[in-house]
């Protein structure tokens, strides 16, 4: 029997959920189906489950065992191996309704659509809550693509779609998180016809192990790349719609508590994309989405670490991208400091570097457990663990840092003592300067 649909299941350490997923595919009413499971170097019982299903139902399931490369490359391996006229994707922790692929294929054949979309049922494991929202108001064999890009739900999600094989002639997933977002808006903008079935055939299981729900995972920085790629690659006809979609999604991200630790990066992305946003008629005519441009004027601290020892910032680099590290070098000293201790001289060089270049002055070894974009979003910041200051963040030519330098040169206190004084009497130190923030850093520490 000629294969009509190849369903690709990329699986990495999914032993708890994989059987449910594969069983739902075994129950499909479409007979001309193959399921390609890509075991992406799993270290638990996933590989054995794959083999069990292939041995018991060899006409339906077959498996590719490969070294771990990530979900995007695993899906690509399945795309290359697929025999079907149409392709579908199911995440290994999700499952689908029995008539999903039969219905989507019938719709594709009738409408001659390159992509057929269905609705998604989301199951939240932590709260035992289920939602199922309509992707569009009405089912149709001829979706208005610009409308779907701008307003459709789950438009940048792989699992709720059936794809003509031709869709994948020029596309492959990247090795990144948000690999769907990175290419699907582009792919949709290149389609001549998209159809929509108004049924929640796809069950999306959101549980604690889901990568995109772990906001401490620095791989989530990939969302910035995905947004940039989506706008850059969109077909000209739908450039405005894709740009509107990206702006709307960024605003949702900014309102999501988990993304607060990426706030500075989102602001910098908006600053970079602002000319594109301002050139979008759809954004400029929508007061709610137009507000995204206001974020471009918000402060973010420079991407620079200043420290005494390189190894102090190892964990900071783990939770950041494109930061430079500066170790201050000995320079000429003010006369009042020449007879002071070497420690005081180092304090001066550290502060002087912060004053000249801006960035984050790291004052001791720390081990972070989450990104720190919230610390960088805004003006100057002092972060304390108890009474000990571990971080001074500042803009170049910061008035606060200028005052600290003056006090260090003219007084007898060390930098540590001066920072303790700032914490004890912040109103005194903010007089005559712009505002600064005092933050308890313990929530960021391991």
Q: What is the pLDDT of residue 91?
A: 96
Q: What is the pLDDT along the chain (446 residues), one digit of tens a residue?
A: 689 999 999 999 999 999 999 999 999 999 999 999 999 999 999 999 999 999 999 999 999 999 999 999 999 999 999 999 999 999 999 999 999 999 999 999 999 999 999 999 999 888 889 998 899 999 999 999 999 999 999 999 999 999 999 999 999 999 998 999 999 999 999 999 999 999 999 999 988 766 666 889 999 999 999 999 999 998 889 999 999 999 999 999 999 999 999 999 999 999 999 999 999 999 999 999 999 999 999 999 999 999 999 999 999 999 999 999 999 988 888 888 888 888 888 999 999 999 999 999 999 998 999 999 999 999 999 999 999 999 999 999 999 999 999 999 988 889 999 999 999 988 888 766 568 999 999 999 98
Q: Parallel, antiparallel, or unpaired: how do β-strands 161-164 and 129-133 relate?
A: unpaired
Q: Parallel, antiparallel, or unpaired: how do β-strands 120-124 and 129-133 relate?
A: antiparallel
Residue 246: half-sphere exposure toward Cβ, Cα within 13 Å: 34
pTM of the model: 0.92
**Angle, CA 240 vertex, CA 154 and CA 244 arms, to 5°:** 45
Q: Which of 352, 355, 358 is nearest to 330 (CA)?
A: 352
* 3-state secondary structure at position 307: strand
CB-CB contact of 3 with 34 (8 Å): yes
Q: What is the pLDDT of residue 432?
A: 61
Q: What is the pLDDT of residue 331?
A: 83
pLDDT tens per residue, range 132-165:
889 999 999 999 999 999 999 999 999 999 999 9
Q: What is the pLDDT of residue 433?
A: 58
Cα–Cα distance for residue pair 202/121, rounded to 1 Å? 6
Q: Which long-range contacts (CB under 8 A, 24 or more apart) does 343-351 make?
A: 343/414, 344/408, 344/414, 346/308, 347/408, 347/414, 347/415, 348/405, 348/408, 348/409, 350/306, 350/307, 350/308, 350/415, 351/401, 351/404, 351/405, 351/408, 351/415
Q: What is the pLDDT of residue 338?
A: 85
Q: Which of 313, 355, 314, 346 is nearest to 328 (CA)?
A: 346
Residue matched to tokens 């049924």: 199
- Backbone φ and ψ for 80, nearest 5 degrees, come out as -60, -35
pLDDT tens per residue, range 160-197:
999 999 999 999 999 998 999 999 999 999 999 999 99
């Amino acid at each position: 029997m000629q294969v009509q649909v190849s369903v690709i299941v990329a699986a990495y350490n999914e032993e708890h959920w994989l059987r449910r997923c594969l069983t739902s595919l075994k129950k499909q009413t479409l007979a001309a189906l193959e399921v390609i499971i890509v075991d992406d170097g799993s270290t638990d019982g996933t590989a054995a489950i794959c083999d069990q299903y292939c041995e018991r139902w060899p006409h339906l399931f077959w498996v590719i065992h490969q070294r771990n490369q990530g979900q995007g490359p695993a899906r690509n391996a399945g795309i290359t191996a697929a025999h079907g006229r149409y392709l579908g994707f199911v995440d290994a922790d999700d499952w689908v309704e029995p008539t999903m692929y039969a219905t989507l294929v019938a719709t594709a054949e009738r409408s001659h659509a390159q992509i057929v979309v269905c609705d998604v049922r989301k199951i939240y494991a932590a709260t035992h809550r289920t939602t199922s929202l309509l992707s569009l108001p009405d089912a149709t064999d001829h979706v208005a693509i610009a409308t779907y890009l701008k307003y459709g739900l789950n438009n940048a999600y792989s699992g709720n779609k059936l794809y003509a094989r031709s869709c994948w002639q020029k596309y492959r997933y990247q090795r990144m998180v948000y690999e769907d977002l990175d290419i699907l808006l582009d792919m949709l903008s290149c389609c001549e016809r998209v159809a929509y079935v108004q049924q929640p055939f796809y069950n999306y299981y959101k549980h604690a192990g889901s990568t995109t729900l772990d906001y401490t995972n620095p791989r989530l920085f990939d969302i910035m790349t995905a947004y940039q790629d989506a706008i850059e690659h969109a077909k000209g006809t739908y450039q405005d719609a894709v740009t509107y979609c990206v702006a709307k999604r960024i605003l949702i991200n900014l309102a999501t508590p988990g993304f607060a630790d990426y706030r500075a990066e989102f602001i910098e992305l908006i600053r970079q994309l602002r000319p594109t946003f301002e050139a979008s008629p759809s954004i400029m005519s929508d007061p709610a989405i137009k507000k995204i441009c206001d974020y471009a004027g918000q402060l973010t601290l420079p991407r620079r670490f200043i420290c005494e020892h390189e190894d102090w910032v190892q964990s900071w680099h783990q939770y950041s991208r494109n930061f430079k590290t500066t170790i201050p070098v000995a320079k000429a000293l003010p006369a009042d400091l020449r007879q002071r201790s070497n420690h005081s001289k180092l304090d001066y060089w550290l502060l002087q570097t912060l004053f000249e270049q801006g960035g984050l002055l790291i004052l001791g070894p720390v081990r972070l457990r989450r990104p720190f974009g919230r610390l960088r979003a805004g003006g100057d910041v002092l972060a304390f663990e108890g009474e000990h200051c571990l971080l001074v963040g500042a803009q170049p030519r910061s008035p606060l840092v200028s005052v600290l330098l003056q006090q260090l040169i003219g007084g007898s206190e060390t930098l540590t003592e001066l920072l303790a004084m700032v914490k004890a009497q912040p109103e005194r130190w903010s007089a005559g300067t712009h505002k600064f923030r005092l933050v308890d850093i313990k929530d960021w520490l391991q």
